[in-house]
């Protein structure tokens, strides 16, 4: 049997009780910050509740997660909330990752506006229907592997893969959710390994249970093996009312296959459930097996959703949404979601490419004795010294416009933070064209100019001309040649 769901999620029924249009005499209490009309409660827990909602502006149906700040702070869960938002932001362009549309906050609540997964949890589907047909199980598994491959290439490990965290949209497509326990690139030690034990015991890799340093991607591989077993068998491979005995079964590979699971599927599960992470099958290796490739449509398997030159934090051009600017707009400063000492941050326009900004930051960090942690897309670097970590991230918003953000993401002593901050800032000066100003100009282009001319003049060219004038003005003020 399946272990019970430990946290309420969206219901599995495709039928949802949706909000009806607001009548004149209806109480305004169901209108959230003037933007969303709240419908029925989908689920609730100790720290949050989830409602279906309708956008007043677009009529689009959403799910709104309402988080209680006070309860979250008492439980020390603020980092988990920040991690969930940041991971979803970085992964939002994959079709099998639940999308986050907006983050809003008041003094007492945080509101995460997300894609509505009308099909509910896969957990509920398995619990109600028992095991799935192999073809159906393979399709869900293919979509999960596609999403996790994308996560891992972005340097993110989920670390809590289980049916309760895998949702379905109204078409029955899988959506990976709940990134609260995920690991971001900046969470790794200098060895590239993780060290925090987390996850759900029945789905957790043995090296994580043993509190050893571990590879997050290999830990996710183990969880995928358990998930595939559950899809095909209808119950978990390792289960015991005594937690110590269950851990022994996990470490000893002590489980049996029901006779209806095919040999090719058994082979994949067996290799994924290898207690030794060094010899465990990787998710990339799974994609090369005949069983995985069977009936696979190329359009469904999208581990590389974006081409390498488009792999920015936010995207450029027509695909930019409001949430794409989360790390480049004060409105989306995640550190301000909770009341605590605000970490330092600043933004600047650069006279070099996004990659050039990161290379310069790396060179400064290495020269000053910082530990350097890189991200695969070459537009992100974390510099750590003592108890302070400074992140530099750059993005080309439109051709020729590179905006970079530098922020302290971890720090204890304000004096120490200030010292390290000053060292890096001084080193970056030679590639900085201007501090701060261009972010407002970019926002003007995205949210004011562009919507006014959807089918008319080339607004990008108009905006570029305006921006070049600003660039020349700033260069002249600073006695800089803009062509340098």
The residues assigned a catalytic role are: 160
Q: In this structure, what token pair is assigned to residue 455?
A: 């089918």
How far is residue 149's CA from residue 103's CA, in Å, rounded to a whole number?
Answer: 26
Q: Residue for token digits 């909330």?
A: 81
Strands 401-410 and 432-435 turn out to be unpaired
Q: Judge contact between 390 and 421, C-beta under 8 A.
A: yes
Angle at CA of residue 100, ends 2 and 188, nearest 5°: 75
263 is in an annotated binding site: no
Nearest alpha-carbon partner for 165 in 113, 203, 130, 136: 203
How far is residue 164's CA from residue 95's CA, in Å, rounded to a whole number?
Answer: 19
How far is residue 152's CA from residue 147's CA, in Å, rounded to a whole number?
Answer: 9
Q: Which residues are annotated as part of the binding site for ATP?
A: 65
């Amino acid at each position: 049997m399946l272990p019970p769901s430990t946290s309420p999620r969206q219901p599995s029924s495709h039928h949802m009780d949706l909000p009806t249009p607001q009548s004149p005499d209806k109480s305004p209490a169901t209108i959230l910050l003037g933007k969303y009309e709240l419908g029925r409660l989908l689920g609730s827990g100790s720290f949050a509740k989830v409602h279906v909602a309708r956008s007043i502006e677009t009529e689009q149906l959403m799910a709104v997660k309402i988080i209680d700040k006070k309860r979250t702070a008492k439980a020390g869960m603020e980092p988990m909330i920040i991690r969930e938002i940041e991971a979803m932001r970085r992964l939002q362009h994959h079709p099998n990752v639940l999308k986050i549309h907006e983050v809003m906050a008041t003094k007492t609540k945080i509101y995460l506006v997300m894609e509505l997964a009308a099909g509910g949890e896969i957990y509920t589907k398995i619990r109600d229907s028992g095991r799935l047909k192999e073809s159906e199980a393979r399709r869900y598994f293919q979509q999960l592997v596609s999403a996790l491959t994308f996560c891992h290439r972005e340097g993110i490990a989920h670390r809590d893969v289980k049916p309760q965290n895998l949702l379905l949209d109204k078409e029955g497509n899988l959506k990976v959710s709940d990134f609260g326990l995920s690991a971001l690139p900046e969470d790794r030690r200098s060895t590239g390994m993780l060290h925090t034990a987390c996850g759900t015991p029945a789905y957790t890799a043995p090296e994580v249970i043993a509190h050893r340093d571990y590879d997050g991607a290999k830990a996710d591989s183990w969880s995928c093996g358990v998930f595939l077993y559950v899809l095909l068998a209808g119950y978990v491979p390792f289960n015991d009312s005594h937690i110590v005995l269950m851990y022994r079964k996990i470490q000893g590979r002590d489980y049996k296959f029901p006779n209806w699971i095919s040999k090719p599927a058994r082979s994949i599960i067996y290799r994924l459930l290898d207690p030794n992470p060094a010899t465990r099958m990787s998710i990339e290796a799974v994609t090369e097996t005949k069983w995985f490739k069977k009936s696979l449509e190329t359009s469904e398997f999208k581990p590389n959703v974006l081409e390498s030159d488009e792999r920015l934090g936010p995207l450029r051009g027509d695909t930019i949404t409001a949430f794409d600017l989360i790390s480049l707009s004060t409105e989306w400063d995640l550190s301000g979601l909770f009341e605590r000492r605000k970490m330092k941050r600043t933004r600047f326009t650069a006279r070099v490419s996004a990659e050039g900004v990161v290379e310069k930051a790396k060179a400064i960090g290495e020269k000053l004795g910082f530990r350097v942690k890189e991200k695969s897309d070459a537009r992100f670097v974390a510099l750590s010294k003592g108890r302070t970590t400074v992140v530099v991230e750059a993005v080309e918003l439109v051709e020729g416009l590179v905006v970079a953000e530098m922020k302290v993401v971890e720090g204890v002593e304000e004096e120490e933070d200030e010292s390290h901050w000053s060292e890096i800032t001084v080193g970056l000066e030679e590639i900085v064209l201007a501090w701060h100003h261009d972010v407002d100009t970019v926002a003007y282009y995205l949210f004011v100019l562009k919507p006014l001319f959807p089918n008319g003049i080339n607004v990008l060219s108009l905006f570029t001309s305006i921006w070049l004038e600003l660039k020349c003005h700033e260069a002249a003020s600073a006695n800089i040649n803009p062509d340098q």
